[in-house]
Amino acid sequence: MSANKPGNTGITRLIKAFGYSMRGFASCFKSEAAFRQEVAASLLIVPLGLWLGQTGMERAMLVASWLLVPIVEMLNSAIEAVVDRIGPEHHELSGQAKDIGSAAVFLAITLFLLVWALVLFPHLINNP
C-alpha cells in the first residue's frame, strides 16, 4: 500500500501513512520474537535511560542508542520477509542478505552497549 496514491494529499496522506506504519508495527510484533523481546526490554531501558542520564544530551544518547536496536530489527525483518517471498529454496544471495541484516542488528546492539558504557562510566576513557 502507498499513501502516495493520486488523491492522497495533505492530512489524508498523513493519516494513511500512519495507518500503514501501525500495521507494520503490528505485523513485526506478531511475527518476530526478537522484536517482541526488544519491545519488552524497551519498557525498562527507555525509562532507565531517562533516569540515568544527567543531561538532556545524555538522556537522548541513552534512549536513542537503544531505539536504534528495534529500528534495525524491523529493517532486518523486512529484508527477511522480502527474501522469503522470493522463494523457499536456498540461494547464496538470500543467505547473504539475511546475514547482513543480522550483522546490522548486532552492530546496533554493540552501539547501544558502547554508548551506555561511555555515558554511565566515563572514567573508562577519562584518565586522571
The Cα 29–Cα 24 span in angstroms is 8
Question: Can you tell me the distance from the alpha carbon of 70 to that of 36, in angstroms, rounded to the nearest whole number?
Answer: 9
Residue with cell 506478531: 30
Residue-wise pLDDT for 18-41, tens only, equals: 999 999 999 999 999 999 999 999
User: Closest by alpha carbon to 104, among 77, 80, 83, 73?
Assistant: 73
73 in active site = yes
Query: Using an 8 Å Cβ cutoff, are 91 and 83 in contact?
Result: no
Q: Cell for 94?
A: 538470500
* Residue of 32, 38, 58, 73 marked active site: 73
Mean per-residue pLDDT for 72-96? 92
Cα torsion angle, 40, 20, 63, 77, sign: positive
pLDDT given at position 90: 84
Spatial contact of 72 and 32, defined as CB atoms under 8 Å apart: no
pLDDT at residue 88, rounded to an integer: 81
pLDDT for 122: 87
Q: Provide the whole-model pTM.
A: 0.85
Q: Is the pLDDT of residue 1 over 70?
A: no
